[in-house]
Amino acid sequence: MKRILIVPPSAPHDCSPELPLSKSIANRQLCIRHLSGSKLPVSIPGSQDCLTMDSLLRLLSLDPQAPVYDCGDAGTVFRFLTAVLAITEGRRTLTGSARMQQRPCGPLVEALQHLGAEINYSGKPGFPPLEITGKPLRGGTVEIEASVSSQFISALMMVAPLMPLGLQIKLTGNPVSAPYIAMTAGLMREQGIEVTEAPDLIVVNPGNYQFHPETAESDWSAASYWFACAALKKDAVITLRGLKESSLQGDSRLVQIFSHLGVNTFREGETLVLNQNGKADAQIGVDFTPFPDLFPAVAVTCAGLGLKARFTGLKTLTIKESNRIESVGTELRKLGFSAGMKADGSFAIEPGRQVTSGVVVHPWNDHRIAMAFAMLSVVCGQMTLDDPGVVSKSYPGFWDELERAGFLLTADREDSF
């Protein structure tokens, strides 16, 4: 198994890590560009998710008869392509990795079937792989369970303008990750589509995308690990560029969250300067329903600072690249922290730590677990971490940036990362 040894810097180290572009924005722009028929270039990060999206959409354009579309571990790609293939004539199989086949897609499939799409399950009902026979859909009105994944709603929204009747999407249940729905609506409006949003109803008018890739910004989710580093590393000064104040990304809320974790944030245009003020709240509570991807970075920060924390809004975390409730709790406990689920469904962290040695942190094939726990080495000291290459899913340059920030990385093998 490939591993790296992470040794944090012993002295304060000022750094300006380069952030990847937002993969959430890029994946939506790639879909909208395909649906518009445009050939204009899109600025995308080098993350595996975006490369997979770009590759499969190019395959669909260049070889419409290709029979199999393999999304690997990319949940966003699978969900968006489910809707794109449903309205694109031809018979195709949409599949993914073993983990992807454990991640539900039933609400999206049922909504598309209600609109007339021909989609069948190849294996377990409600889960990938799918057999999709694409054809034009007229649109109309559809209900969808909104408490599983906002990407189901975004997928329907993006294909809706191509339907002659447009689409009225009625949301049932408690919507999760609502900022991502707003992001999709905002990007569609930039491309000439009329979208109306209400808490339980989204209306998309029929129309033609007028594609022009205006929005490109750094990834706020990736920035969360550097906020964690700033909170944990006394006297460090971290400069992050390309983060818009009026961002479409819901994870921009991390500025507010980390203000309670002792991080000062100074803004100069699209540049943020972070440092620790030593004034973290002794106790913190966060509802992660709007921004679940921030959970790993916030959880390790609270543990590292010795805070009492209780987190809610965690339902969608069980169906990410890993079950993040389980993976974060397990790895924190391995490192001697008290953390885990409570009977009321919340995740709790208690102050204090039993010092451990010889622990190997396992990222559970999850990029966000690897990056969050790497920052916890600031508190725990040198740390061995499995499978460092998993960060390529969203932040392929992460280890290079960590080295530039003064961390010493030693690989078991030269090609470990």
By annotation, the residues acting in catalysis are 293
Tell the burial category of 205 from Cβ atoms under 10 Å away from its Cβ (0-12, 13-18, 19+).
middle
Q: In what order do the strands lie in the sheet with 167-172?
A: 140-145, 167-172, 201-204, 195-198
DSSP letters, 176-225, are -SHHHHHHHHHHHHHTT--EEEETTEEEE-------------B-HHHHHH
What's the chain's Rg over C-alpha atoms? 21
CB 142 within 8 A of CB 115: yes
CB 16 within 8 A of CB 401: no
**Sign of the four-CA dihedral 23, 318, 340, 361:** negative
CB 49 within 8 A of CB 23: yes
Give the strand pairing for 90-95 and 360-361. unpaired
How many CB atoms lie under 10 A from the CB of residue 17? 21
Two tokens, residue 410: 């030693």
SS3 278: coil
Helix axes 220-232, 295-305, angle to 10 degrees: 0
Helix axes 295-305, 324-334, angle to 10 degrees: 20
186 vs 168: CA distance, rounded Å:
17
Tell me the C-alpha to C-alpha distance, in Å, between residue 31 and each of 24, 38, 74, 294.
11, 11, 14, 25
Look up tokens 């447009």; give the residue. Answer: 166
**Sign of the four-CA dihedral 378, 381, 382, 387:** negative
CA-nearest of 297, 308, 288, 295 to 348 is 308
DSSP letters, 323-347, are -HHHHHHHHHHHTTEEEEE-TTS-E
CB 71 within 8 A of CB 42: no
